[in-house]
A and B are shown apart, each in its own frame.
Chain A
Amino acid sequence: MTDHALVDDALTPHDSFPFDPRFAPTHPPLSAHEAAVEANRCLYCYDAPCIQACPTHIDIPTFIRKIATDNLRGSARVILESNFLGGTCARVCPVEELCEGACVLNAEEKPIAIGRLQRHAVDHVQGRGLQMFTAGPATGRKVAVVGSGPAGLSVSAELAKLGHAVTLLEKRELGGGLSTYGIIVLREPVDVSLQEVEAVRALGVTVETGRELTDQAGLDALLSEYDAVFLGLGLGAVPAMGIPGEQHLIDGLQYIEDSKISPDSLPDAETVVVIGAGNTAIDAATIARRRGADVTMLYRRTDSEMTAYRHEYEFALSEGIQYRFLTQPVRVISDGGKVTGVECVKMVLGVPDTGGRPSPRPLPGSEFIVPCDAVIKAIGQEKPVLATELGLDVAGGYIVVNHDMQTSLPRVYAGGDCVRLRGTASTVMAVQDGKYAAVAIHQQLSQTQEAPHG
């Protein structure tokens, strides 16, 4: 049946978040006809590789077939059953590295636009406020989830579906974690993320914002009140670079957050330097570029060692963002409190480091200045310092978990970026962590007849 009429603009930006046309989504939503044509191009593979390639193993051929048969509600249900954050993942997933990269049509023509089809189906239900799931019969068990990013939302939803009473604690004012604060509007408007928080709430999850876990006593309190605790802490701020003029550096994540929540507060700059070459660095650079600045990214290695996805790098180039490789900033130069440039040194690549990437070293006497009036740093995030505070085993600063996402403490689970020691940290991995944790917590709660906190 044709119930597409409302779809395409169903998720228009929320009044409370100013919309800047320069940050309009890179990929507009598919029209109903485009979606039908694309869905019909899908071969409907059996035991399809895209299903396995997706970390949450969405039954992609089935949801696409449902789009082709005009069963959009059924399609969205298939997606959200495997991935409660299907709306976010449709926008932010590196599909080239996952489902679309595994599509059998890569061999023949171009892969199916799985991400955009997923968005088409999920927008259909989220734009209408349709809830696909209901809470399971109450088990009387209680779980606290700390952090409402993708991992926290995922575990909360899965546990609520199983009938457990979930309280989701979020230190910020808005739920959604990085989806709300850290993904640029071009890829995901705030509203999409907030709708996912609302969907969790609709399952009966109690979402308490402004609640921060800060110490061991806090965890103990949670453990005495709840049967299990899940930590979806995320990571910290962008680390300090330890260079003169540090105080002038703009935190890349803060910059992205401001662009979403309070774009008027972004500094006006004609020439911007971004330090780093990961996906967050590209996001920050994109905002600056879309605001009209000349943007140069500085990276101490070369394009072969960048952590950004290839398609992100190509996107940055297509935006007109410039790169300077083998360049290490050593000092921010300012005049009367105003940034005028970054002093850099040329680097050469040496022997591979422990991570397998060649370690760069400065070339003596090669100092030079890149003039600019703003400098953004996006060189990764601080490890979750709270983890040690809570007495959890950590490795390389990340929380150690087993296959069931269980930490070194009984009844304490963790997932998302804060456990991502190996592999790429991404929304979809965090969602899957939440699913694994929910299964394990459910199993734990089903085995124990009585709440251990008595």
Chain B
Amino acid sequence: MADLSVNFAGIRAPNPFWLASAPPTNSGAQIHRAFEHGWGGAVWKTIGAPVLNISNRYGGLTIGGQRLLAINNVELISDRPLDVNLREIAEIKRLWPDRAVIVSAMVDASPEAWHEIVMMIEDTGADGIELNYGCPQGMSERGMGAAVGQVPEMCELNTHWVTSITKLPVIVKLTPNVTHITEPAHAAIAGGAHALSLINTINSVMSVDLDTLQITPNIGGRGTHGGYAGPAVKPIALNMLTELLTDEGVLRSGVPICGMGGIVTWKDAAEFLLLGAGAVQVCTAAMHYGYRIVEDMIDGLSNWMDDKGFATIADVSGRALPQMSSFGQLDLGYQAVARIDPDKCIQCDLCYVACNDTAHQCIDLVAGNGVRVDPGYDVRVNGRAVADTRPMPVVREPDCVGCALCANVCPVDGCITMVGVPSTQENISWDALTAQRPEIATSWDAMMAYRKEQGIEIH
């Protein structure tokens, strides 16, 4: 059985599944229950400046009947009195010495304010501090949260105020609401951060109710932007994770990164680990289904690691990262085509319409006698038997550009596969090609001459 334990910037935990700083970690009683379910760690809901909350606080994204594909929130940091939080943090750490107990903090941007809160956190016996530079709503307007994370100088300065006075590991949580995620990361590292975590929530307006015409969530007849999270944000988080882990400055610093954003299952977590995360944090999925989801996260990840022969989290971490490349370094000569398995095809023809309307018109409908036919039917024929004589979608491979749209719309698992095929084109990247022949990037004549040379035909 795989060893799931982690040592993240000196913070030890029996598994990499930590609850993110958010409503699921609002109180000692909640975290106690979460640890009973098996969570490896918890980042306490941000403590610090005094706040007042509003209602409603959440808007959900439902697509095709699937609830909470994303959630947006306008909840602030902890509104519980500071001393209550601190007392409960100490109690939880005493009861659960093997779990990672990390305290998220956010205070006014002053060395005194940070000094005061850091000392109080140290007194609790917590394992680490996470600096919340990400919260995009409510706090940022007061000069905290994202307002710090979005200004590299502020990020560095605030981080320095903390790292210079504490012996605890300091994780800086980054906001995704920036153009280049590497810039605040560099600032945090320059400020002495021991680790980074990302992503915090994304600025969002969830929806407008078509009956009442009110923005959701409706807060007494008004709406505001909130922080967007949940399954729908995972690809954004994965991208930012790889942006950091392919950045020389970040790599040189050696700081580990705790990944979060849309993790619902062990599979999502495994993807973050494969792209280099040292541990992961989860919020929306727990808010949707409760703490119990961690059982399958641990079980599923462990079984998968056993199947793959990974003994430890370190074996997994970053395994897929070397594939990350820039567009200019991709092999232009690699050619794939779609293949439709006729035995699995149910003839829904979704591939046909997708290819025909919005891709490259290279799927034909072929009748049983091998003749290509157009869509449509004989109105004088009816009954269920019509399903038995439907034409089959077939890829015209020489015209297929290998875009993989059909494989993505196909509702049957394993029916359409993208298959690598021999190519007439040389195996060269755009960067290498244009270094050799710069005119190809600027002249269509030169481009067409190169295509002719390589036997590339684009219809």
Contacts and interface: CB of A to CB of B under 8 A. Distances in A.
Interface of A: 1-2, 36-37, 40, 43-49, 51-55, 57, 68, 96-108, 403
Given A2-B211, A45-B349, A104-B347, A36 B65 contact: yes
A102 B376 contact: no
Interface string B369-394: 00000011111111111110010000
B350 interface: yes
Contact of A104 (B211, B385, B387): B387
A290 to B, nearest CB: 29
Contacts of A47: 349, 352-353, 365, 375-377
Contact of A98 (B378, B382, B412): B382
A53 B387 contact: yes
A401 to B, nearest CB: 13
Contacts of A103: 387
A61 to B, nearest CB: 10
A47 B411 CA distance: 16
Contact of B390 (A1, A43, A44, A49): A49
12 contacts: A1-B210, A36-B65, A40-B64, A43-B350, A47-B365, A47-B375, A49-B347, A53-B386, A55-B382, A57-B377, A104-B348, A106-B387
Nearest to A97: B384
Nearest to A95: B384
B65 A40 contact: yes
A342 B412 CA distance: 56
B411 A43 contact: yes
A37 B381 CA distance: 31
Contacts of B65: 36-37, 40, 68
A46 B211 contact: no
A55 B41 CA distance: 61
B346 A53 contact: no
A140 B377 CA distance: 35
A51 B411 contact: no
A54 B377 CA distance: 12
Interface residues of B, number: 28
Contacts of A51: 377
Contacts of A52: 377-378, 381-382, 386
B393 to A, nearest CB: 10
Given A2-B211, A49-B347, 9 more contacts: A43-B350, A45-B350, A46-B375, A49-B387, A68-B65, A97-B383, A101-B383, A101-B384, A104-B346
Contacts of A57: 377, 379, 382
Among A57, A100, A103, A104, which residue has the most Cβ atoms of chain B within 10 A? A104
A98 B383 contact: yes
Contacts of B375: 46-47
Contacts of B390: 49
B218 to A, nearest CB: 15
Contact of B211 (A1, A44, A98, A100): A1
Contacts of A43: 348, 350, 411
Contacts of A1: 210-211
Contact of A46 (B353, B378, B383): B353
A97 B386 CA distance: 11
Interface string B406-417: 000001100000
Contacts of B412: 108
Among A44, A53, A103, which residue has the most Cβ atoms of chain B within 10 A? A53
A97 B384 CA distance: 5
Interface in B6-23: none
A132 to B, nearest CB: 22
Contacts of A101: 383-384, 387
Nearest to B378: A52
A98 B384 contact: yes
Among B377, B382, B386, B411, which residue has the most Cβ atoms of chain A within 10 A? B382
Contacts of A45: 347-350
A46 B350 contact: yes
A40 B66 CA distance: 9
Contacts of A97: 383-384
Nearest to A108: B346
Contacts of A54: 382
A291 to B, nearest CB: 34
Top 6 A-B residue pairs of the complex, sorted by shortest distance between their CB atoms? A101-B384, A46-B353, A47-B375, A102-B387, A52-B377, A46-B349
Contacts of B377: 47, 51-52, 57
Contacts of A96: 384
Nearest to B347: A104
Given A2-B211, A40-B65, A46-B375, A105 B383 contact: no
Contacts of A104: 346-348, 387
Contacts of A99: 384
Interface in B68-103: none
A440 to B, nearest CB: 14
Contacts of B411: 43, 108
A43 B348 CA distance: 7
